[in-house]
Every structure is written in C-alpha cells, then in structure tokens.
C-alpha cells in the first residue's frame, strides 16, 4: 500500500520469519491505528504539541509514535504480529517525512491495514478522531481466527515487558481495558456521575458511578472485540433516538459497561496512562517499573520524536539499550529522573516548536503557500 520496506542497520529489530509449521494465529496481534485528517478538516489534538493546522504534519507526529511503539515490541522480542490501521491509501498525502516514517514502520514487519472512518461522531466538531478504534477493530479482525488475541493500542505506548503484558490477557469473553481513576464529578465533558445517570435512564439499577473505561488499550479475542463494537453501535443508535450525543469511545464504552452490555476486566496493573512533565497535575503510578506498558500522551513531541529520529537515522542501539534497563527507560521517556537542565532544554525546544507551528499556520493561511510536513 505504501511502498517497499527498507533495511535496518546496526541493532536488528526485524521480526524473525515464521516457519511453515508455525501458525500466526497462535500469537497475539498488536494493532495501532492512525487516522489522517483531510485538508481543511477541523481537528484539535492538545497533547500532540502540534499547532500548525497541517494534517500531514500532525500525521508525522503520530507516525513517529507508531514507529517507536513497534520498535519497543521488536526490541523486546515480542512473540506477536504487528499491524497499523490507517485511512490513507496514497502516501503522498503524508509528505516526504510521513512517507519515510511509513517505510520505517514497514521495515519492522508491521502490516498496513486500510480502514475508512465509518464510526465518526454524529456531529461536526474540531475534535480528534474519536471512535476510530472501532474501525480499527473491525479492519484488524477481518479474516482472523475469532479466537485470536488482539491488542488495540494508542500509538503513544511503549512496551517494556511484552511477556508480562500478553500473560495478562483476560479470559474470554471479557475484554481488557485500563480504568482511569477520574473523580466522579470530573468537570470536562461527560463524567462518571453523568454517565451513571444516563445508564439509569436506559434501564440500569441505581448504584455508584461506574468506573471509567479508558479507550487507549483494549485486548481480547477477535470475536469479543467485534461484539464490543456491535454493542457500541447499537447503543449509539439508542442515544441518537433520544437526541443524546457522546463524543468519544471512552464515553460509549463506559456507558455500555455500566449497563452490563459488555464484559470487561481492568488490566491497569500491567498498563497505565502516565502524564509526564511538571505541569499536568495528574497522580503518577506508584511504581512504573511494575507496569508492562506505558501510555505516555505528553511525550508525543519529545521522547517519541527523539527516539523515532534515532531509529530513522539508523541508530536504534541506544533505544534498545535503554529499553533493556527500566531506570534508563524511565529517564528516556521522562517518567522519572529528569534534571532541571533537561527540563529547561525540553521547555526551550517546545517554545521553538510553537513558534515554528505559528509560522507554518500563518503560511498556510496565505494564498499560494502551504507548509510541508
């Protein structure tokens, strides 16, 4: 779809070829997904640290993350197949930088799978590609053994212990998820209390606010994940009939769980969303070293970008070495141990990027000019 793979120098992160006697269905399949916006389509991704307004440039930021996640799995000798679901069929939409990243991703043995965005919210808004995970599930499940285990992961995840992660896959028919410990009355959009009240309107018995189902990591049998999508489609139809709008997959998943329509199991003991940097205000995990997967939304424009440049530049050695040592990996991805000098360097770099983004946005707004990715 996107052209040939390229060779990887130095540290090998290529997958080993399976023998004819081995069945790919016996191993898990890790699926990442990237929706690329059309030119002129409104969007807003605060954690991307990209404010240029250029869909191709935004895609580069997310493809950098996808490359690093795939490399973390290969460097960890994960016994799995990898896939990247995207709506793009013509890599020219991504610019030179994006097309090069796709080649690097393919070089890691990642299968590219096409999926149009058919589960978009029912109203236009400058929002991220919420719900694209549903399209990714259906596309990644097509033609698969219904019993095969799939892991659907946001691109900004790092696998630090693949073996422990795969061992935590819940038993069928449950789908594994990461519970986000939001307060019941958290004030940004729908919260646990309002979702609980909505569930009661739809027939759930009175009770405490439901747990919040994070959509960044889902795992289970292919058949159970497909059923999860079908349940959410049906639920969204019920909400449309009541003129109720929920804007993203976390809202639908939390509501479906509160109604008892899907069976889910919290795997937060092996994976967690970790906000990095000094200004986020979120509670850090007790010990990130006990986790097998780090979800790092704040590092899209920092640690992921630096690691992607090393891989694309044929210098994956240091990343492989850091991932082999939890303390080094935590420093690399700004989870712990950042010095004042490093924080100052990061802040200056981010300020520079904001200035460049503002310049690119201005250039895009002037006739006859368009910034490149």
* CA–CA separation, 176 and 216 (whole Å): 11
- For the chain, which residues score pLDDT lower than 70? 1-25, 44, 46-52, 124-127, 278-285, 337-373
Confidence at residue 20, expressed as pLDDT on a 0 to 100 scale: 38
pLDDT tens figures, 86-118: 999 999 999 999 999 999 999 999 999 999 999
Half-sphere exposure of 42 (CA within 13 A, CB side): 5
Q: Does any domain span residue 43? A: yes
Q: Does any domain span residue 207? A: no
Q: Does any domain span residue 324? A: yes
Q: Does any domain span residue 310? A: yes
Confidence at residue 340, expressed as pLDDT on a 0 to 100 scale: 63
Q: Are 218 and 231 within 8 A, CB to CB?
A: no
Pairing of strands 293-295, 271-273: parallel
Q: Does any domain span residue 372? A: no
Domain that holds residue 108: 25-167+269-365
Cβ contacts of residue 358 below 8 Å, gap of 6+? 51
Confidence at residue 129, expressed as pLDDT on a 0 to 100 scale: 79
DSSP assignment, residue 213? E
pLDDT tens figures, 26-78: 799 999 999 998 887 877 676 665 666 788 999 999 999 999 999 999 999 99
Q: Does any domain span residue 259? A: no
Q: What angle do CA 87, 90, 93 make, to 5 degrees?
A: 90
Q: Does any domain span residue 220? A: no
Look at the chain and report how many structural domains it folds into: 1
User: Mean pLDDT for the chain?
Assistant: 85
Confidence at residue 346, expressed as pLDDT on a 0 to 100 scale: 62
Q: Are 20 and 139 within 8 A, CB to CB?
A: no
Q: Does any domain span residue 232? A: no
């Amino acid at each position: 779809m996107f052209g040939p793979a390229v060779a990887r120098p130095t540290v090998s992160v290529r997958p080993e070829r399976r023998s004819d006697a081995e069945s790919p269905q016996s191993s898990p399949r890790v699926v990442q997904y990237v929706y690329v916006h059309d030119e002129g389509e409104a969007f807003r991704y605060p954690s991307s640290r990209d404010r240029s307004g250029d869909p191709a440039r935004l895609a580069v930021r997310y493809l950098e993350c996808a490359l690093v996640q795939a490399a973390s799995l290969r460097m960890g000798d994960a016994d799995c197949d990898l896939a990247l679901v995207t709506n793009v069929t013509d890599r020219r939409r991504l610019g030179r930088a994006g097309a090069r990243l796709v080649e690097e991703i393919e070089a890691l043995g990642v299968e590219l799978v096409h999926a149009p965005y058919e589960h978009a919210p029912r109203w236009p808004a400058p929002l991220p590609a919420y719900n694209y995970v549903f399209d990714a599930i259906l596309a990644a499940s097509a033609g698969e053994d219904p019993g095969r285990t799939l892991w659907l992961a946001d691109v900004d995840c790092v696998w630090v212990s693949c073996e422990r992660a795969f061992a935590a896959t819940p038993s069928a028919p449950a789908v594994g998820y990461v519970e986000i410990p939001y307060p019941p009355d958290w004030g940004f959009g729908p919260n646990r209390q309002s979702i609980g009240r909505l569930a009661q309107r739809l027939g759930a018995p009175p009770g405490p606010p439901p747990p919040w189902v994070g959509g960044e990591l889902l795992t289970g049998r292919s058949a159970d994940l497909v059923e999860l999508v079908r349940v959410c489609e049906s639920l969204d139809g019920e909400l449309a009939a009541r003129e109720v709008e929920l804007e993203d997959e976390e809202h639908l998943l939390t509501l479906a769980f509160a109604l008892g329509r899907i069976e889910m199991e919290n795997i937060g003991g092996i994976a967690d969303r970790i906000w990095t940097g000094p200004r986020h205000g979120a509670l850090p995990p007790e010990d990130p070293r006990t986790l097998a997967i780090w979800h790092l939304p704040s590092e899209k424009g920092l640690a992921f970008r630096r690691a992607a440049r090393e891989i694309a530049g044929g210098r994956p050695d240091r990343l492989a070495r850091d991932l082999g040592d939890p303390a080094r990996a935590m420093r690399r991805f700004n989870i712990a141990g950042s010095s004042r000098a490093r924080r100052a360097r990061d802040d200056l770099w981010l300020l520079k990027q904001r200035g460049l983004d503002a310049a690119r946005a201005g250039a895009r707004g002037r006739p006859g000019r368009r910034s490149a990715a």
